[in-house]
Amino acid sequence: MTVELVKAIKEAENKAEAIIKEAQQQARQTQKEAEIKAAAILQEARAAAEKKAKELLEKAETEARSEAEPLVEEQQREIARLKKEATALLPEAIAVLTDKVVKIDADY
C-alpha cells in the first residue's frame, strides 16, 4: 500500500507539473497574441490619425485657396489697371523725352 501511495503521489505531482507547464505555455501564447493585437491596433490608430491629418491639411489648403483667391484677383485687377495707366502715359513720356533730346541737340 505504501508503494501504491508513493506512486499515486508521484503521479499527482507529474500531473501537476504538466498542468503548470501547459498553463505557462498558454500564458505565453496569450501574451504573444495580445502583443500582436496591440501592435495591429496601434498601426490602425496611426494610419487613421495620418489619414485624418491629411484630410485636415487638404481642407485647410482648400480654405486658404478660397480665401486667397479674391485677394489674388484684386491684385491682378490692380496690376492691370496700373499697366493700363502706364501705357496711357507712355506717349506723353516719349514726347517729353523727345523734346528734351531735341532741345539738348538744338542747344549745341
Whether this model's pTM surpasses 0.75: no
Least confident segment among 54-58, 66-70, 77-81, 102-106: 102-106
Percentage of the chain beyond pLDDT 70 is: 94
Handedness of CA 74, 77, 83, 87 (dihedral sign): negative
Whether residue 108 lies inside any domain: the answer is no
The total number of structural domains in the chain stands at 1
Q: For the residues 41-62, what does the mean pLDDT come to?
A: 98
Whether residue 11 lies inside any domain: the answer is yes
Q: How far apart are CA 21 and CA 29, in angstroms?
A: 12
The residue type of 48 is A
The yes-or-no verdict on residue 16 having pLDDT over 70 is yes
Whether residue 96 lies inside any domain: the answer is no
Whether residue 21 lies inside any domain: the answer is yes
Whether residue 71 lies inside any domain: the answer is yes
What are the Cα distances from residue 22, in Å, to 17, 27, 28, 35, 77? 8, 8, 10, 20, 82
Domain containing 35 equals: 1-76
Whether residue 29 lies inside any domain: the answer is yes
Whether residue 106 lies inside any domain: the answer is no
Whether residue 42 lies inside any domain: the answer is yes
Q: For the residues 13-30, what does the mean pLDDT come to?
A: 96
